[in-house]
Structure 1
């Protein structure tokens, strides 16, 4: 893993080489998080590059990426660890056949229980532990980048469970005790703002908000990800998407969808945003029928030269 970051500009330039175009706020957040070993809470609308930020940071730091995708009902058994119940059951069946050997010369019920208790503890040892993403990150020998994606989709109980990890880089496992990170991970939590996160979680994190890019930045992103696109078409595309996002849509076009659209236009050998081309490819940008109807009604305005 990269052990030292010289400057904010180093973050920005390395991200740009990867095709991730970022502004000063993003570069500063990554720089401070890596230097201070603080988690980063990245908020913003869907599709602005929050998840890609963690991937770019892992590539920049030459660190393994461990990802936990959050969802409603996620609990610590799915996020931290679970026991290999099938293996435990198999060993239990084998132990039954060896019960006489295990009990040996135990002559009383109490002695027999003590003898069996020792084997009961063995069933909750490392051999039967199945690590999940959080535990994998803590056990990594090389400092990883841990991505806790869409934390706002998880329940408040799970959010509270994360507080120990975010503050001390450790977790408590009842059967094994406290597990502390071998190498402190760089943690990114992303949120689409579907619910308000707790102050306790926010206090433990650096905060970064990523909005949709302005036209100039989106042009730079398209140029980096679709370098073969004509400069004039790239400018028209960024203007069209900017105007589209100003409409009252059910789902705003994500940056990834803008990139897909740009690639499609290149494949179609388009050199300008002609109405018929836009009509044929608009579904790459808009994924709800009511949004398509609204956009088609506004095409003359959306395509009007600046």
Structure 2
């Protein structure tokens, strides 16, 4: 199954211009209920800004290892900022067709990343290298971070309308923002080592925040698991779109009304070359404010469908999940 059959496209323009907010909110929520993923087009983030961020990302990853390590990710997984070299982070929340998680950890994730957030984040302060190493990098990352936050707020407004809640409902829980901008590069590797499982780009996993906005190049390799059949389906890049997916926290918050769907990155489908090219992606991960405690979203529970979860601290939940992947 191709992604266009599994992951629906939602035109966000009628929400932004106010002509039909309800239909956009309904379509967004329906996609989150059925697959947990949706392509957003006419989302309000200009292609020029996205292209410029990809250009800056490529310039960063073209630096020497020594230069990138001037902004090292701390050893602790609970401080997700700075540069992580290939093989440092290992995602293993979901393991398939293997004896145990320990065996899965023997296989490296072939990717390198740089992560940043808001500058005044006391819990996870940013880690930058000297400005002279790559002039404009810090400013470019921060500007794009805040551009994505504006898109996130509109998505949260639309989602609230889909739930038949006040439009600002979710914004009260996403004020900081306690979010993460991640630049990712998957280095070129022999096709055979990905196909035979010797290496992975990212193993099967689900995200654990509120939601993730993903911008990706056209190389391919991202696959989403069909929640009904269990089959992994290629999710190709659609020009001008943002690929949006719900995270585990939003699924819990919605009393499992919304799906947080498993996905992975492997060799692109129908690859015919001996080497898989570099792949670049830019996920923007949204978290609710760390100090807040949330209960199930109104309307997602009743006497026939009681609450599955107790109120939970956002910070406690997120910190446990961050530590598990590093």
Same fold (TM over 0.5): no
TM-score (norm 2): 0.21
TM-score (norm 1): 0.22
Relative to its length, the structure with more helix (as a share) is: 1
